[in-house]
Amino acid sequence: MSLPELPQTDAAEVSAVATAPKGPQIILTGDRPTGPLHLGHFVGSLRNRVEYQHQFKQFIMLADSQALTDNMDDTNKVHRNVVEVALDYLAVGIDPAKSTILIQSQIPELAELTFYYLNMVTVARLERNPTVKTEIALRGFERDIPAGFLTYPASQAADISAFKATLVPVGEDQIPMIEQTNEIVRRFNRIVNKDILVECKALVPDIGRLPGIDGKAKMSKSLGNTINLGATAAEITAAVKKVYTDPLHLRVEDPGHLEGNVAFIYLDAFDPEKDKLEEMKAHYVRGGLGDSIVKKRLEVVLQELLAPIRARREELEKDKGYIMQLLKEGTMQAREVAAKTADEVKAALGLSYF
């Protein structure tokens, strides 16, 4: 299968790699397959993963089981997006020969480890987790919280520890989840008086969360303010026209503001011509540069970025059987690793009888 070439990623854009501790490292990362991936995912994780796979052992999880914790009313959405998200992975340059891509639900040892870990954390501690509290508020659960959603920190601890991951790429808002994983790991090792599980470190990228095209704090499928990785040229054009700029920049000659200006935030993230971008910023701030010129540059940058990704995705999509075979192979490899950890955990707990 001949695929279009992808542009090379600027190493400066993934400088989070430089923060990793020395020695052999294992990464666990992934996504909930609830819809197509977008530019926010690309900035926050995907392009870093392309770099990480050349330096670390990397497991990338399609967290379909976890996605069901708040999608049980539409399980087909999760099912159909497993392949869609896998297509996005491959389209941006994630190599299944270098990164192990796995489907969470097909590794029962992860659920088994979650069950054990739930005995090592209290409901009160789960409810105090800042990340969980924020997500509960965003979804309006109040006290009608699905138990699976509330216990997600234990499930994530199982995912991370099953592969003995030492690095977990996350945004700053997810750091409390990593802290709780390490609490569970330390408690387990203390109970069994043996270092079976390993602690992990949060790997926070330099460029964090990307705002939506409407200026909202987060680019989100549910808010409809995304630019998907598979967006057509026409869809990119339409989205760029809607990109939030500076509401006070009413006339071309007026000085413009960069803070909160989504057009410039995107250009900072994606424009490879940094010197020219700095000149454009200075011109905008002193006045005399219209938003239409800024958006014209943004469209050129995004079209050039997404065209090869879209082309690769369209080519790969022609053979979904091939994609599923790759997922099967990756999941089988991952299950061998998780099963070994599960056996070690059971033996340490005195649950090995035969």
pLDDT tens, residue by residue, 76-117: 999 999 999 999 999 999 999 999 999 999 999 999 999 999
In the prediction, which pLDDT does 96 show? Answer: 97
Name the pLDDT band for 17 (thresholds 50, 70, 90). Answer: very low
Report in angstroms the alpha-carbon separations of 266 from 41, 49, 192, 295, 304.
13, 20, 49, 10, 14
* Whether the predicted pLDDT of 16 surpasses 80: no
- Cα 98 from Cα 57, distance rounded (Å): 8
Residue with the larger pLDDT of the pair 302 and 205 = 302
d(CA 78, CA 287): 48
The pTM (predicted TM-score) of the whole model is 0.90
Are the beta carbons of 157 and 180 closer than 8 angstroms? yes
pLDDT value, residue 14: 41
**Mean pLDDT computed over 23-41:** 93
Buried b (16+ CB within 10 A) or exposed e, 224-237: ebbbbbbbeeeebe
Q: Look at 13-17, 112-116, 236-240 and tell me which has the smallest mean pLDDT.
A: 13-17
Q: Which of 84-88, 212-216, 312-316 has the lowest mean pLDDT?
A: 212-216
Nearest by Cα to 221 from 232, 206, 231: 231
pLDDT category, 226, cuts 50, 70, 90? very high
Assess whether pLDDT exceeds 80 at residue 339: yes
Share of the chain above pLDDT 90, in %: 79
**What confidence tier does 5 reach under pLDDT thresholds 50, 70, 90?**
low
Q: Name the helix (H) or strand (E) containing 346.
A: helix 320-348
Per-residue pLDDT, averaged over 231-244, amounts to: 97
Percent of the chain predicted with pLDDT > 70 = 93
Rg of the chain taking only CA atoms, in angstroms: 22
> Nearest-CA neighbor of 160 among 19, 338, 290, 346?
338
In the numeric block, the tokens 């979650």 are attached to 114
Of 110, 116, 112, the C-alpha closest to 191 is 116
The more confident residue out of 75 and 44 is 75
CB 293 within 8 A of CB 276: no
What is the rounded average pLDDT of the residues 296-306? Answer: 98
Q: What is the pLDDT of residue 220?
A: 83
The most confident of the ranges 68-72, 108-112, 128-132, 350-354 is 108-112
Name the token pair of 353: 């009888």
pLDDT above 80 (res 7)? no
> What is the predicted pLDDT for the residue at 172?
86
pLDDT for residue 22? 59
Is there a contact between 39 and 226 (Cβ–Cβ < 8 Å)?
yes
pLDDT for 21 beyond 60: no
Helices and strands per DSSP (H, E), number in the chain: 15, 5
Res. 212: pLDDT tops 60:
yes
Note the pLDDT of residue 3.
Answer: 63
